[in-house]
Amino acid sequence: MAEKKNILMLLSNPFRPDPRVHKEAKTLVKAGYRVTIICWDREQKYPKEEAIDGITLIRLGPRSNFEDTKIFLKTLPKFWKLARREMAGMSPDIIHAHDLDTLSPAVKESRKRNIPLIYDSHEIYHEMASERLGRTMVGIVRRYEIGIVKKPDAVICVNERFRDRLKSWGARNVTVVMGCPPKPEAPDGLVNKLRGEMSPDGKPAVMYIGVLEPNRNLMELVEGFAGEKARGARLLVGGYGTLEKQIAGMKGPRFKFIGPVKPADLPAYTLAADILVAVYNPAFGNNRDSAPNKLFEAMSAGKPIIVAKGTWTGQTVERTGCGLSAAYGTDEVFASIERLIDDKALYERCSSNGIKAFNEEYNWPIMEKRLLDLYSGFAVPKN
């Protein structure tokens, strides 16, 4: 690269950090790009300007929240306006919009400046929104999504199912970049310490650390472990989201809530756990087709994972043999936990199969190359 190119990313969360965005931005910085991320700090509690791993962060308002959809819809255009005002003093060579709720200002700035636009589709947005919006509003968002995804110069998405749907809507130059982690590393002393905290009596530790939202089988898991189910194991839950307070208030000798976990600490927790769970409700299209990072984290550490049947994740687990799939919201989830605990040979097969899948298909160096290959096509700004 003859000279460093300036990349401007737009993000509708405060970058706590966001794992997918963090990996992509670090990759671009390492490759010689200058990366700035304009973020939406809805709670107004993070530094307005910050540098992390060579990435420049600029956090804007307005104040909003993650729980109330009406407030979000009312304040989103204000964030777009503030973001464009902030962009006025910048000279990006490429704009990279993360998710549908940042795409409108990105399209306008890309056209105004005649510079390339990359759209990063973390979700099929209208299907994700269907968990909170009524049918009429979902239909409006769907039409908007199908119309606007045609406008970026390139699109990044999380798996082949998303790619095929986006292409069917007219999206151009679609590349699959999954949120695969690097191989997990952590000091043995820290892993052993966490394991002792997770399971003082040495019982197998079942773990979910991620976004705490409905339709992820979380309350069923917590209530089961607080009661009589999967008595041979302990459950650890961490993260943030609308269920955080409710889960934090649950009590039980075999359940522990640890709150938000820093991304830098996640590998140690994953290595300390025995079984991971990521059981998302397949009744929602976004859950059926998405590629949660939990799957790749489990593979990378050789930890069997339990996921929902009837999803892309379930099919991937069944194909690679890295865990078990179970019917969402049923005792089959607890039965799968017990199978992995009781059948040592099954546990070891799932562990070795996960490592094999990670080494051969689902690792960040493979995804990193796809990202950089895409960016290399925009090394020279549009005429």
Neighbours of 149 (CB within 10 A): 23
Task: State the residue for tokens 């549908």.
Answer: 100
What is the reported pLDDT for 131?
Answer: 84
What is the mean pLDDT of the segment spanning 148-174? 97
What's the whole-model pTM score?
A: 0.89
Q: How far apart are CA 365 and CA 252, in angstroms?
A: 41
φ, ψ at 220 (rounded to 5°) = -65, -40
pLDDT beyond 90 at 252: no
What percentage of residues in the chain have a pLDDT greater than 70?
98
8 A C-beta contact, residue 233 and residue 299: no
Q: Topology of domain 6-180+364-376, per CATH?
A: Rossmann fold (3.40.50)
Angle between helices 331-342 and 218-226 (to 10 degrees): 60
Burial class (CB in 10 A: 0-12, 13-18, 19+), 142: middle
Element (H, E) at 206: strand 205-211
Specify the CATH number for 188-360; select among 3.20.20.70, 3.40.718.10, 3.40.50.2000, 1.20.1280.290. 3.40.50.2000
C-beta neighbour count of 244 within 10 angstroms: 18
The pair of three-digit structure tokens given for residue 139, joined into one six-digit string: 């239909």
pLDDT per position as a tens digit, 40-98: 999 999 999 999 999 999 999 999 987 788 899 999 999 999 999 999 999 999 999 99
Cβ proximity of 222 and 247 under 8 Å? yes
Asked if the model's pLDDT at residue 197 lies above 80, the reply is: yes
Ranges of each domain in the chain: 6-180+364-376, 188-360
pLDDT at 379: 62
* pLDDT greater than 80 at residue 331: yes
Q: Count of CB atoms within 10 A of residue 140's CB?
A: 13
Lowest-pLDDT choice from 38-42, 181-185, 189-193, 218-222:
181-185
Estimate the crossing angle of helix 19-30 against helix 364-376, to 10 degrees.
60
SS3 345: helix
Residue 250 has pLDDT above 60, yes or no: yes
Banded pLDDT at 107 (limits 50, 70, 90): very high
Of the candidate ranges 225-234, 290-299, 300-309, the one whose mean pLDDT is the lowest: 225-234
The answer to whether 6-180+364-376 and 188-360 have equal CATH topology is yes
Q: Are 107 and 117 in contact (CB under 8 A)?
A: yes
- Give CA–CA dist 261/238, Å, rounded: 6
